[in-house]
Structure 1
Amino acid sequence: MDSFIAREGDYAIRIVVYLAESGGMKKVEEISAAVGVPKPTTAKVINRLKKCGFITTRTGKHGGIEASPSAMDASLYDILKCMGATLDLNVCLSHPSACSRQPFCRVTHRLADIQSV
């Protein structure tokens, strides 16, 4: 079973990295062009990232969007979770019936403990 990062998760990572590396306030248009994501999608992802506290926004003449201090300490996992991704260490954590060892497996509960951190 292949697992991939959803596009919005990829876009979110690109946006946070761009804002963290470039510093200062940026406009949506500038971010969109820099990360290669359409402006409406960029705006949507920015709203989600703002709700999770990874970016801050300021209105007005000198306003814009910038990475928040918490973005500097965020992991890729944190950003992907913000975007609604469900990331499992093993398929058995999300689909227990997929594992033939499930009734007697001694690893599943340990993986679940690690994943919950």
Structure 2
Amino acid sequence: MQLKLTTDYAIRTVLYLAENDRIVASSEIAEKMAIPRKYLINIIGTIKKAGLIDTHKGQQGGYSLKLPPEEISLYDIIRAMEGEIAFNRCMESDGFCSRNAAAYCPVHSVYEEAQEKIIGYFKNINVKNLINR
């Protein structure tokens, strides 16, 4: 499993907003976090839609966190950017198995355990934890 570059940018964006705890312009985020501004605008739209950040219009406008940093998990950001997290096709919500063997496949149970651990790990790391590292 490899996260998309845009997911890394989203994590950096949320971290920057949390560290600064104020309304921040997109140009500042782009510059300070080394994120191309054209990507940043799309990323901001996605994480705003996920309910993680707020938009502030006007001359002093920009972006801020919608929730306290301790209420935003790394999983929340990853899920917003990546969609459903599945270790393998058979782990997606529809449970598709090309062999119709998900119920008794020994590999399926290993994937399921690994996926649960990874998702649990990301859910237990919030933005405040990341800032304090």
The change in CA–CA distance for 1:86 and 1:101 in structure 2 (over 3 A counts) is closer
- Contact residue 91 and residue 111 of structure 2 kept, 8 A: no
Instruction: Give the whole-Å Cα distance in 1 for the aligned partners of 2:66 and 2:28.
Output: 18
Cα RMSD after superposing both structures: 3.4
Instruction: Give the whole-Å Cα distance in 2 for the aligned partners of 1:77 and 1:43.
Output: 21
- Contact residue 93 and residue 108 of structure 1 kept, 8 A: no
The change in CA–CA distance for 1:50 and 1:101 in structure 2 (over 3 A counts) is closer
Relative contact order (C-alpha < 8 Å, sep 6+): which is higher? 2
Deviation string 1:68-112 (CA, Å, 9 cap, x unpaired) is: 115541211111111134423x435257459x9863439639938
Structure 1 residues 6-17: aligned runs within 5 Å: 6-17=4-15
Structure 1 residues 13-24: aligned runs within 5 Å: 13-24=11-22
Secondary structure of the 1:61 match is coil
Instruction: Give the whole-Å Cα distance in 1 for the aligned partners of 2:32 and 2:98.
Output: 43
Instruction: Give the whole-Å Cα distance in 1 for the aligned partners of 2:50 and 2:64.
Output: 14
- Residue matched to 1:108: 109
- Residue matched to 1:36: 34
Deviation string 1:40-79 (CA, Å, 9 cap, x unpaired) is: 1011100111111111011112221111115541211111
Unaligned runs of 5+ in 2: 124-133
Query: Which runs of 4 or more aligned residues in structure 1 lie more than 6 Å from their structure 2 counterparts after TM superposition?
Result: none
Instruction: Give the whole-Å Cα distance in 1 for the aligned partners of 2:85 and 2:35.
Output: 23
- Contact residue 3 and residue 82 of structure 2 kept, 8 A: no
Normalised by the length of structure 1, the TM-score is: 0.76
Normalised by the length of structure 2, the TM-score is: 0.68
- Contact residue 54 and residue 68 of structure 1 kept, 8 A: yes
Identity %: 27
